[in-house]
Structure 1
Amino acid sequence: MAQTHSKRTRSKRVASLQLEPSVLSRWLRQFLTGRTLLQSSVALVAALLIIVTLRGWLPPFSFREGQIPERDVVARVAFEVYDEGQTEQNRREKRRGELCLYENRPQPIFRLLDAIKSRVVLLLDSTPYEDLTEEQLAALEALRPQPVDGVTPDDKENLQALRSLFAGPNKLDDGKFQQALGDILKTFAGTGLLQSLSHDSEQGMQRSILVFPVGLPDEGVVVNVALVRHADVAVELPQKLVEGFQKYYTTPDAVPVAKMVSGYIARNLPVTLSYRQDLSEKVRLKAEESVEAAYVNYIPTVSKLAEAGKPITRAKELPLLHAEYDAWIAKLSWGETLFRLLAFSGMLAAIYLLCGIYVYYQYDRTLLTEPTNLIRLLGLAVVTCVLCRYAAPDPMRAEIVPLILCAIIMTITFGRQVALLMTTCLCLIITLGLGLDIGGFVTLCSGTCAAVLFLGRIRTRTKLIYVGLAAGVIVALTHLGVDTVLGKLNSAIVAAETNSSNLTIDWTWLLPSLGGEALRLGGFTLLATALMTGLLPFIEKLFGVQTDLSLLELGDASHPLLRQLAQRAPGTYNHSINVAAIAEAAADSIGAHGLLTRVGAYFHDIGKMFKPNYFIENQEQGGNCHDTLQPAMSTLVIIAHVKDGADLGRQHRLPKPIIDFIEQHHGTTLVEYFYREAAKRSQADPNKEEVSETSFRYPGPKPQTLEAAVLMLSDSVESASRTLVEPTSSRIQNLVDQIAMKKLLDGQFDQCGLTLQQLDRLKSSLVKSLTAIYHGRVKYSGQASA
């Protein structure tokens, strides 16, 4: 049957063309993948946390204690400041103007009447003055008038006047005496009496008090202090009694008798008023609460907040500057705030982009592609910003401490290049976020860069202290140099001249001002490294890294796994020790981590302790366990030591880099002996299937680091060198070349970044180490060959 073909139009032919997607399309497609979205989310969350921590939408407060402004600082907006001193003064005045409460108990005053009357009765008989009894004389003495101009009236005259007044119709019990004296005593009872005030001028008014009956503070009356104080009452008392007696007695004898009674009362005035501290304090507190707070108003562009050339003090200028800053922030429009937020976010985005491009294309892209590494990197940056935010304000001003800690942690965890890049960016973010000047940025950068460059390998506990000392000196000198370049030194000298009474420089003020800040920054740098010494074990656990200190502890021969390996598989243990020795030297020759390689070599074959007799180095002469096994089964037994070793390392909580050595030291290499044996048997039996090479390879992964590649090659050449009958230098050289070429051609070094130049240096180091191990010895006569 004939088949017809329809002719396509031009539009269909154009539509059928498949063009290469654009770069933007590829990036967008890659961004929409799950892992990329996770990484972007982590970066976005970190950026938001930094913005919130540093308040990126607000201008920072840029003044600090001790800072010397180059020009006068005036108010930008109108604001008022609470005047604590004036408010306290107003409250003090209010307290002074309040009446203090005194409680009146008048009973002792009324008992005076009976006491006077009883003494007068004793003297009213007709006994002559010379014959008076002692009791009568005592009564007469008690009634003696007060001296007038230093002259005391005669007792005989007083006695005669007393008997004359109360003789005849004016008897003592006719009620006139009680009425005349009672009028005065009632007045005293109503107002009360006191010796002196029990409160001072700071506690209340001194001219008047509030007197109230017992238990009735609401019924108090205001009383002039002169009316209740003994000294004042005693002065006015004689005249009042004379007037009172003359009201009831018309004879002249009433005046001396009144003076006699007034003398007794003046000498025996009781205290009936008691100061109530509790009630008076309540009144004072209520009065204080009614006082309104006092404020000082400041006018924009007029009011001076800090003077040029004078250091800002915490007691005076700094509170004013804070108040002005808060008022200025409160008046910012939402547009200004949004613009500031966009600018700060743009800066973070630029830093993200530049750092990300460098790390991705020039350093190690796994820091960005692996979510765990990215979270650790950005998490450390966020924590550093948070710590700087709370350590920066006065009086501590210790933002350099978190930055130094961050620099050391990043150097240990991610390497020097990333540490230098990230800490410099963090210094910039902190400088802009906290309002520091260019001098502060340079000082912070000098501290972090010095810590990164001086750190190196941490093989002793004192290494961090030495790093802190060196970095502290650099920070102090840098701070002094930057102050000189920026002209702050000249400002400090002018301020020192201003503070001096004459026109000479006050060096006693200037030297602490200049050197104190430098020493403080240097001391904080040393403090950061000292803190890092204690934090180092926790940092290693948190970030999964090992310093030389932890590696030295891990490589101790008394480690439980190494002791078990020496007991169960002594041949493997001896092999591991030899591999560690040659691998460390080889790693050092190419700039890799030699100590890490040595410790990894100690543990790389710990999986062999489960079945030690299946490995040639542990077999005794006379038998081979593999003779009774099929090649495929023997291969499974040999390959299993990798998985068994990794499981055993995880069980004993070995660090991840050590477990990586266990898993990668064979890569995906071929178990050649048993593969060839299986191929030979397959060729001899035509009914068998062809042997697959994949079944005789280790599961991998291939070496991911230079150290793992060094261990792989060292392990292979050390094992193979044992088969040499006469291990001369040339034979060892030939053996190492063959094994290295085989690994290279097999693609085992494809994922570790090992270059051919490094491989050449690696081979040279291995040849030297093996030649030293198998060096020739002098053969003595009669000595058997070794």
Structure 2
Amino acid sequence: MFLFGNKRARTQKSAELRSVSWLHSFSNRYVVAKLVACFVALLVLMVAVKAWETPFPYRLGQRPAVGVIAQTDFRKVNPSATRRAKEEAADAVPYVFVSDSAPLRELPSQLRAQLRQLAEAPSVEATTPELRSAFQLVIPEGTAEADIPAQQELLVERFGRLKNAVATAESLNILISEFAEFLLPLEDSGLLVGSLPDDVPAPSDRITIIFPNHTRRDVEVAAIELRAVLATDGSLGSRWSHFPALVPLREMLSNWIRSRPPAALQFIRYDPDLTREAKRKRQEETLDVFDPYIKGRELVLPGDVIDEEKLSLLQTENAALEAQATVSDRGIRIATVIALLLVVGGLNGYYLAKNEPVLVGSLGRLSVYLALIVGTIAASRLLSFDPWRMQVVPLLAAVMILAIAYNQVLAIITAFSLGLILTLSTGAGVDQFVIFTSVCAVSVILLPSVNSRSTLIIVGLWAGITYLLVSTGMGVLSNHLATNPWMESEFWWDGLRGFAWCLVAGFLVAGSLPFIESMFGIVTNISLLELSDVSHPLLQELVRRAPGTYNHSISVATIGETAAESIGANGRLVRVGAYFHDVGKMLKPQYFIENMMLGAESRHDHLAPAMSTLIIIGHVKDGVDLARQHNLPKSLIDFIEQHHGTTLVEYFYRAATKQAGEHPENKTEVEESSFRYPGPKPQSRELGVMMLSDAVESASRTLSEPTPARIESLVHDITMKRLLDGQFEECGLTLSEINRIEESLVKSLTAIYHGRIKYPEQKTA
């Protein structure tokens, strides 16, 4: 009972400690901010993959091995039938004419002028031929000689009627007034002289007239022709009896109207723009013609190529299925997608938490990583559809960026997750997932480092070759047709297209390398090669102002690079970081011993230890400021800022302690924290190597006889001092790596201070 009871107590206490630990984590605002970033990334990722929709898996050129069966009843627009229906509807639209009543209002004044000429003429023969023709005052052609006298009498009688009708000004005004009122129906009906105008594209029985008051009227062409209008049952011919002054002159006035030139009677004009607009509107109003499809109908036969027509049919069926999905259906799908993303994200997160403390420890780095994942999925899914189908470009580019910015293991794990999510969100098969994984694996394997931009292009080339080979192999293995797959153009086209897109991804990453370095705060070997040039303005200024510091930096770079490479760290980064780590000393070079002339008095002799410490520590801040002014990358600024960590400026601390002991009456305690560098401690393995290399190189110069044993003892003492001081707590160095660094530094310093044979002096004769 005692054992069991004690065990329960221990278990309960352990659970309480765990709960307190979790509560403490959630009370940390940085932890909460990171969780919020992950939650936002999850939400955006759900939108990017459209978690509420079923993915559409079909693409042009695919050959479904088992065919495709309709999962629901639906209907699809018949393009050819719809086009014919719209064309027929457009053809049925009447031509549009615009009414213009200005010529109509001119007719009464024209009639008045000609009637005045008749009133002034003493006889028919005294009038002009045009007047006689207009008012039927001529003998018709072909009249027999026997009938000519009767026709002449008729002409005289007509002439007399006209003269009587306009004998006075009052009678003329009445006649013209009635004539103007007589023509009014033409303003609402229009008038055509003969057939349709020449600018009308084709004959038509009906037209649409738009009047000045914006009203529209469809009229029969035959009903508004001049002949029909003046007929007994026409719009004008049926009105003669309503105008007493016009009745005696009916035939002559009718003939006068017919004799007018076409322009004088052009009351409507054809408008092609309005006609086209009316036809277009009628086409839009015409309903589409649909073909019905019932559930179970075979949409694509087994082995058939999906062409544009079949793809459109499958898209219509998919849209019908989505339209029929209920809220519960969509909820189940969203929950499934969330579960999948949580599983994949959880596995990734576990790896990051265990193996990538630098990434997880920074909210900014974590946010950039999450944004890259979400952006990759969104871009890949968007570009996965026809005609581009270039989803491999963002995927491969993202994986290459991660391999450059972080490491190969993180890149390949992320590539697996991205490929899985992309495959499921686009409805692709296992073969596509195999292709994605293979291409990403090859690109990561070939990217241990980036020594030149051509490296990225070569990686893209090999990734493209892998895509072509794997795509071809998967196509052969999944071929269920009796035909030879090697003879199918689609079989090769997909692989060649993937090859081209992989090459594009290589060029894309190569071109955006400066942006990648800036966004992730890294430096590639390409940039390091450029920065390692000793002609850099900052290094040239260091040579001029502080040559001793420059020589020290060169020595640190030499031994540091070798030490970094001994543990698999980035030796080139350590070398370039060492070049710049002490640039802050150039502002006060004479306060640092390596720049003092031999035998010269030290400037620190006249300063208090605390003031000297401030000057010594100040070279870190000065170096950071100079580096930022010269736009050095963040990775190199870290070398300047962290190469001393939070170590103690031991010489001046001891001097201050000694002074305090000699003057106890001052009662001032020497605080050790005031004599420490502000830090931070080294945050990477390369920075840890840099700290040791800098310390042992400086200390080795104090050895009067730098024998191998003394060098080994010195390096070991400094290493243990830094280790016990906790300077390596945050850089990720293991004890075995520290031991290998120590061995490398001993070997390098021994080589630098190797002994030489003393040659005897030559005696003179």
TM over 0.5: yes
Give the deviation of 1:306 after TM superposition: 2.7
1:65 and 2:55 matched = no
Question: What do residues 159-204 of structure 1 show as CA deviations (whole Å, max 9, x unaligned)?
Answer: xx74344257776736799xxxxxxxxxxx9874359975455xx6
Change (3 A) 1:220 1:400: closer
Question: Amino acid of the residue matched to residue 379 of structure 1?
Answer: A
Q: What does residue 609 of structure 1 align with?
A: 586
CA–CA distance in 1 between the matches of 2:745 and 2:589?
27
Give the deviation of 1:346 after TM superposition: 0.4
Q: What does residue 519 of structure 2 align with?
A: 542
Give the deviation of 1:633 after TM superposition: 3.9
Change (3 A) 1:269 1:705: closer
Give the deviation of 1:469 after TM superposition: 0.6
1:525 and 2:520 matched = no
Q: What does residue 641 of structure 2 align with?
A: 663
Give the deviation of 1:765 after TM superposition: 2.7
Question: What do residues 328-371 of structure 1 show as CA deviations (whole Å, max 9, x unaligned)?
Answer: 1111111111111111000111112212222222x123433432
Q: What does residue 354 of structure 1 align with?
A: 347
Note if contact 1:94-1:287 (Cα within 8 Å) is conserved in structure 2: no
Q: Say which of 515, 523, 531 aligns to 1:554.
A: 531
Give the deviation of 1:377 after TM superposition: 1.4
Q: What does residue 493 of structure 1 align with?
A: 483
Give the deviation of 1:762 after TM superposition: 2.2
Q: What does residue 249 of structure 1 align with?
A: none
Q: What does residue 457 of structure 1 align with?
A: 449
SS of equivalent residue, structure 1 residue 69:
coil
Give the deviation of 1:684 after TM superposition: 6.3
SS of equivalent residue, structure 2 residue 728:
coil
CA–CA distance in 1 between the matches of 2:262 and 2:10?
126
Question: What do residues 397-421 of structure 1 show as CA deviations (whole Å, max 9, x unaligned)?
Answer: 1111111121122122222111111
Question: What do residues 97-131 of structure 1 show as CA deviations (whole Å, max 9, x unaligned)?
Answer: 45547899999xx99x968988xx9x99xxxxxxx
Question: Amino acid of the residue matched to residue 546 of structure 2?
Answer: A
Question: What do residues 427-449 of structure 1 show as CA deviations (whole Å, max 9, x unaligned)?
Answer: 11111112111112121222222
Change (3 A) 1:413 1:100: closer
Note if contact 1:213-1:220 (Cα within 8 Å) is conserved in structure 2: no
Q: What does residue 733 of structure 2 align with?
A: 754
Q: Say which of 718, 722, 725 aligns to 2:701.
A: 722
Q: Say which of 394, 398, 406 aligns to 1:414.
A: 406
1:330 and 2:330 matched = no
Give the deviation of 1:458 after TM superposition: 1.5
CA–CA distance in 1 between the matches of 2:358 and 2:592?
37
Map of 1:170-181 to 2, 5 A cutoff?
173=155
Q: What does residue 86 of structure 1 align with?
A: 81
Give the deviation of 1:775 after TM superposition: 4.0
Give the deviation of 1:475 after TM superposition: 1.3
CA–CA distance in 2 between the matches of 1:295 and 1:214?
35
Change (3 A) 1:93 1:31: same
Q: What does residue 765 of structure 1 align with?
A: 744
| TM-score for both structures, normalised by structure 2 | 0.76
Q: Which is further off, 296-305 or 563-572?
A: 296-305
CA–CA distance in 2 between the matches of 1:484 and 1:386?
30
Change (3 A) 1:631 1:23: closer
Q: What does residue 307 of structure 1 align with?
A: 301
Q: What does residue 256 of structure 1 align with?
A: none
Question: Amino acid of the residue matched to residue 299 of structure 2?
Answer: L
Note if contact 1:198-1:275 (Cα within 8 Å) is conserved in structure 2: no
Q: What does residue 296 of structure 1 align with?
A: 290
Question: What do residues 356-399 of structure 1 show as CA deviations (whole Å, max 9, x unaligned)?
Answer: 222222x1234334322221211111111221232222211111
Question: Amino acid of the residue matched to residue 194 of structure 2?
Answer: L
Note if contact 2:70-2:295 (Cα within 8 Å) is conserved in structure 1: yes
Note if contact 1:191-1:211 (Cα within 8 Å) is conserved in structure 2: no
Q: Percent identity?
A: 38
Q: Say which of 612, 630, 637 aligns to 1:634.
A: 612
Note if contact 2:646-2:677 (Cα within 8 Å) is conserved in structure 1: yes
SS of equivalent residue, structure 1 residue 493:
coil
Note if contact 1:82-1:293 (Cα within 8 Å) is conserved in structure 2: no
| TM-score for both structures, normalised by structure 1 | 0.75
Change (3 A) 1:68 1:43: same
Change (3 A) 1:282 1:175: farther
Give the deviation of 1:630 after TM superposition: 4.0
Q: Which is further off, 17-26 or 344-353?
A: 17-26
1:646 and 2:647 matched = no
CA–CA distance in 1 between the matches of 2:305 and 2:60?
7
Change (3 A) 1:694 1:389: same
CA–CA distance in 2 between the matches of 1:783 and 1:704?
56
Unaligned runs of 5+ in 1: 1-13, 125-138, 144-157, 178-188, 230-264, 497-504
SS of equivalent residue, structure 2 residue 64:
coil
1:480 and 2:476 matched = no
CA–CA distance in 2 between the matches of 1:356 and 1:765?
36
SS of equivalent residue, structure 1 residue 298:
strand
- Calculate the aligned-residue CA RMSD, in Å: 4.3
Question: Amino acid of the residue matched to residue 193 of structure 1?
Answer: G
Note if contact 2:193-2:262 (Cα within 8 Å) is conserved in structure 1: no
CA–CA distance in 2 between the matches of 1:200 and 1:625?
103
Map of 1:19-34 to 2, 5 A cutoff?
19-22=13-16, 25-26=19-20, 28-34=22-28
1:396 and 2:388 matched = yes
Query: Between Structure 1 and Structure 2, how many residues are aligned?
Result: 671
Change (3 A) 1:283 1:386: closer
Question: Amino acid of the residue matched to residue 350 of structure 1?
Answer: V
Change (3 A) 1:219 1:117: farther
Change (3 A) 1:60 1:726: same
CA–CA distance in 2 between the matches of 1:703 and 1:215?
87
1:340 and 2:317 matched = no
Note if contact 1:90-1:291 (Cα within 8 Å) is conserved in structure 2: no
Question: What do residues 569-619 of structure 1 show as CA deviations (whole Å, max 9, x unaligned)?
Answer: 111111111111221122112111111101111121122223211211111
Change (3 A) 1:27 1:389: farther
Change (3 A) 1:340 1:683: same
1:596 and 2:573 matched = yes
Q: What does residue 441 of structure 1 align with?
A: 433
1:567 and 2:544 matched = yes
SS of equivalent residue, structure 1 residue 77:
coil
Note if contact 1:667-1:699 (Cα within 8 Å) is conserved in structure 2: yes
Q: What does residue 147 of structure 1 align with?
A: none
Change (3 A) 1:319 1:492: farther
CA–CA distance in 2 between the matches of 1:684 and 1:292?
106
Change (3 A) 1:210 1:560: closer
Q: Say which of 539, 555, 562 aligns to 1:578.
A: 555
Give the deviation of 1:228 after TM superposition: 10
Unaligned runs of 5+ in 2: 1-7, 115-127, 160-189, 228-257
CA–CA distance in 2 between the matches of 1:91 and 1:682?
103
Give the deviation of 1:521 after TM superposition: 0.9
Note if contact 1:194-1:271 (Cα within 8 Å) is conserved in structure 2: no
Map of 1:680-699 to 2, 5 A cutoff?
695-699=674-678
Q: What does residue 222 of structure 1 align with?
A: 220
Change (3 A) 1:85 1:761: same
Change (3 A) 1:776 1:386: same
SS of equivalent residue, structure 2 residue 446:
helix
SS of equivalent residue, structure 2 residue 453:
coil
CA–CA distance in 1 between the matches of 2:280 and 2:378?
44
Give the deviation of 1:481 after TM superposition: 1.3
SS of equivalent residue, structure 1 residue 21:
helix
Question: Amino acid of the residue matched to residue 607 of structure 2?
Answer: L
Q: Which is further off, 166-175 or 293-302?
A: 166-175
